[in-house]
Amino acid sequence: MASLSISDRQQLSFTLVGDVHMGPSNSTRPGEETPGLMKRFVEEINGTPDMDFLVELGDRVNNLNYEKDRENALKFARIMNSLSVPYYPILGNHDIHYLTKEENREIYGQPVENRVAFVKGYKLIFLDTEEPVIEDVGGSVSNEQLKWLERELTFDDLPKIIFAHHPADDQEIRDNPHFVQFPQLAFVENREKIRETVGRGRKVLAYINGHVHWFGLYECNRIPYISVPSFTEAWPEKSGAPGMYAQVLISENARLELTIRSLNPRRILGKFYWNSTCSSL
């Protein structure tokens, strides 16, 4: 930990993408369009200066069967292997509908479950919200995982960012077309315990997730809970995947700037700013 002193901390810049749903087009998820769009996305990131890393928030495949899911996961991995920045994948519910967690680790050549990484004096915490999956859609976190999360959040004084697939907030979900029939499956089942654990953490800057396919912002204990929109979701259309993703810039004083972008058309869709109360960072 000595190499991660306060003096090492710098401005942090990273990209977020999730819910790519590569595979057969399904409802308003035109997954057959995503391979070409993902190649454009990788080119875009590779051409972005000063990008430190990329986090992929899960649901890489639009599950169909074991053979097709494995084929699409391998295709996704080949595309992402062209990235010029470090890449951290996490699990979504669709990723393990037919494939196991072990097979996901093998395909992507790196861990996909609970783990931490350190970049420029920041601590990145990757939380597996598939322990287990609820009704093939919703998420949960085991008591053992909660203990692990609490240790990682309280062990040191580094500023921390948590990444997961499922939201742990209580955002209003009734207008979301994908969860109107089963709103409980939009979240981590035991999200109150997660928020309590996060609230006890030291210098937590944000909890960031995918799954709900739209941008969302929820605040609890002065910590922003941020939902990143789906890369592929074309609602209410059935084609024309927008290629949406987010980029985050965290300054040395813990000011967070999040920009929502799209590839189709190539646009900046909006910006969000958050000033952390951790002013001593």
Residue 280 lies in a domain: no
Where does the pLDDT of residue 9 fall: very low under 50, low under 70, confident under 90, or very high at 90 and above? low
Q: What is the pLDDT of residue 4?
A: 42
Q: What is the pLDDT of residue 254?
A: 83
Residue 146 · residue 152 · CB < 8 Å: no
Q: What is the pLDDT of residue 45?
A: 97
In a domain? residue 197: yes
Is 9 within the bounds of a domain? yes
Inside any domain, residue 281: no
Digit-coded pLDDT (tens) for 111-149: 999 999 999 999 999 999 999 999 999 999 999 999 999
- Residue 163: which region, alpha, beta or left (left: phi > 0; alpha: psi -120 to 50)? beta
Q: Which CATH number covers residue 270?
A: 3.60.21.10
Residue 242 located in a structural domain: yes
181 pLDDT above the threshold of 50:
yes
Q: Average pLDDT in the 72-91 region?
A: 97
Q: How many structural domains are present in the chain?
A: 1
Instruction: Supply 263's token pair.
Output: 């590839």
pLDDT attached to residue 3: 39
Mapped onto helix, strand or coil, the DSSP state of residue 84 is: coil
Rounded to an integer, what is the distance from CA 246 to the centroid of its chain?
10
| Whole-structure pTM value | 0.94
Question: Is position 215 within any domain?
Answer: yes
Q: Residue 6: what are its φ and ψ, rounded to 5°?
A: -55, -35
Both structure tokens of 68? 């097709």
Express each pLDDT in 225-245 by its tens digit.
999 999 999 999 999 999 999
Which residue, 227, 213, 263, is CA-closest to 28? Answer: 213
Residues of the domain holding 136: 2-275
